[in-house]
Structure 1
Amino acid sequence: MDAGAVEGVVARGLAARIEALFTAVRRPDRGQYTNEEVARACREASGESFSTTYLWQLRTGRRDNPTKRHLEALARFFEVPPAYFFDGCQGARIAGELALLGALRDAGVRSLALRAVALSPEGLDTVGELVEVIARRDAARRRPPV
């Protein structure tokens, strides 16, 4: 891969990670943060220029070379370790936790999870098996006919 291609992959990865933060981490009223809210907080935290447009460019991959301080300010705002942006393994682990957080925001998933807390290990295994069967069935229904 040439340097330009590597930069493109890195940019899409960074944009996807930032977008995942916006999707999973919500305001207390459960609404999504706006670019303006996040940019303002990052500006105040870092003491550096951090415009709404710049944040939009990072989110969409149009800018791909933020400073360490910008990424640290984003990490601080969204309450994730800065390694989320730099460390592939830790970033993947945190991304999984963010996906779980997003799923738990759904009332049905949250209700099921709360009820499952009281199940025995055997009961949890059974529920897990049922979920797998239903997920495969749903996936098969969504596939276009061949």
Structure 2
Amino acid sequence: MAIKDESGATSPTLQDKINMLVALPLPHEHVSGISDNPDSIGERIKVIAKAAGISDSLLNALRLGRRDNPTKVTMQRLADLYDIDPAYFTDGPLGTEIYRQLQLLQTMAEIKKAHTPQLKIAFRDHFGLSARGADTALQILEQLRDLEAGSGSREP
């Protein structure tokens, strides 16, 4: 459902961006009491909406494209939940760039969840790394994750 800009490049719609957030792993501090990230869309919508302090019907309407003009407060709450810049929800280049970065993170999370060797293959193929370089990149990412989880600090 992406739209084309003047240059012919496609930009994600608000609906695409909301669906991306719904598909992302939930921030761990917001899923207490849930054994794992909820699997069904309905469960995910409820957990995300509750954590963000918005109604699940609003979030679902945005996800389905039935609503396309969220308030600044709604955008800020969702941005805060996922620790992203609220510009993500805009049509500008920053919103598109954040969307692409989230796509990459989602892909990496899916590959890692499915099979770590596939992540190493992606590092080799996409970034041209050797097998040793792919192992090192994976170790660095795991260390970064552990550092950020341990520090509790979230910088913009």
TM-score bracket for the superposition, by shorter chain length: 0.5 to 0.7
Cα displacement (A) at 1:80: 1.1
Q: Does 1:40 align with 2:12?
A: no
Structure 2 unaligned runs (5+)?
1-11, 29-35, 134-156
1:27 Cα deviation (Å)?
Answer: 5.2
Greater helix fraction, Structure 1 or Structure 2? 1
Return the index of the structure with the highest Cα Rg: 1
Q: How does 1:1-146 map to 2 (within 5 A)?
A: 13-26=13-26, 28=28, 29=36, 34-43=44-53, 50-105=54-109, 106=111, 107=115, 108-113=117-122, 116=129, 118-119=132-133
- Taking structure 1 as reference, are residues 65 and 114 closer, same or farther at Cα in structure 2, changes over 3 Å only? closer
The 10-residue stretch of structure 1 (27-36 or 91-100) with the greater mean CA deviation from structure 2: 27-36
Structural RMSD (CA): 2.7
Would you say the 8 A contact 2:27–2:81 is kept in 1? no
Answer 1 or 2: higher relative contact order, Cα 8 Å, separation at least 6.
Answer: 1
5+ residue gaps, structure 1, are 1-11, 44-49, 120-146
Give the whole-Å Cα distance in 2 for the aligned partners of 1:95 and 1:85.
9
| 3-state DSSP of counterpart to 1:73 | helix
Which has the larger displacement, 92-101 or 18-27?
A: 18-27
Contact 1:25–1:78, Cα closer than 8 Å, also in 2: no
Structure-2 separation of matches of 1:26 and 1:66: 21
Residue-by-residue CA offset, 1:8-54 (whole Å, 9 max, x unaligned): xxxx81111111122234455455571111111111xxxxxx21111
Whether the aligned pair in 2 keeps the contact of 1:35 and 1:55 (CA below 8 Å) is yes
TM-score by length of 1: 0.59
CA distance in 2, matches of 1:61, 1:26: 21
